[in-house]
A and B are shown apart, each in its own frame.
Chain A
Amino acid sequence: MADFDQELDASGLNCPLPILRAKKALAGMTAGQVLHIIATDPGAVKDFEAFAKQTGNELMESKEEGGKFVFLMKKN
């Protein structure tokens, strides 16, 4: 697992909260820093891909781990 600078646990939250929380967390970070996101909403997988594509932040990793969805997002 790559290093990260900040962690966001969005477990139990449903659309659109994981995206909104991630956006808020990224707003407080500096360019190049990495946010580690944990979510349980299966819709978050496609949503974070779409979020990265539209905001220019880089989705470095997206995987399922023990029933949870884990993402690494690098702030642009």
Chain B
Amino acid sequence: MSEKKLAIIATKGTLDWGYPPFILASTASALGYEVEIFFTFYGLQLLKKKMDVSVSPLGNPGMPMPMAMDKWFPVLGTAIPGMQSMMTMMMKNKMKSKGVASLEELRELCVEAEVRIIACQMTVDLFDLDPKAFIDGVEFGGAALFFEFAGEADISLFM
């Protein structure tokens, strides 16, 4: 079986949006794909050793909330201080109780499976991010580096 290739661009740095790239990359690796993820803009948050990501009910009308709050709670109420951290904590607890892996665990599985991880050099500079804060094994590069791999990929996904 010749090795298929999956290229992913990960642009979001929230708890919920962190899942698709790591789930698909780790699963594709298990299926024998060679995988590369290009992390850019807010997606770079997912590469920090100490991952600190949240999920927000603000501007997120599709997010189910406890006690059916999404049905009766005023939208502006989701902007109350502390709401985001409370929702993040509740989401993490729910995920744990349902046997959903943590982002850190899925990321570790990707690293183990030798998923190639590229951090967008331009965004790292733009946001003055510290490369030392990232997990080991991260490569730094630009759009051309992504296309070198994506040009040969069977599947390319933007997230």
- A contact residues vs B (CB 8 Å cutoff): 12-17, 19-20, 22-23, 40-41, 51, 54-56
Contacts and interface: CB of A to CB of B under 8 A. Distances in A.
B64 interface: no
- Which of B23, B30, B98, B100 has the most CB atoms of chain A within a 10 A radius of its CB? B30
Interface in B56-85: none
Given A15-B23, A56-B1, A20 B30 contact: yes
A16 B23 contact: yes
A55 B109 CA distance: 18
B101 interface: yes
A17 B109 CA distance: 10
B99 A19 contact: no
Contacts of A23: 30
Interface string B6-31: 00000000000000000100110011
A54 B154 CA distance: 14
A53 to B, nearest CB: 10
A19 B101 contact: no
Given A55-B32, A56-B1, A13 B99 contact: yes
B26 A54 contact: no
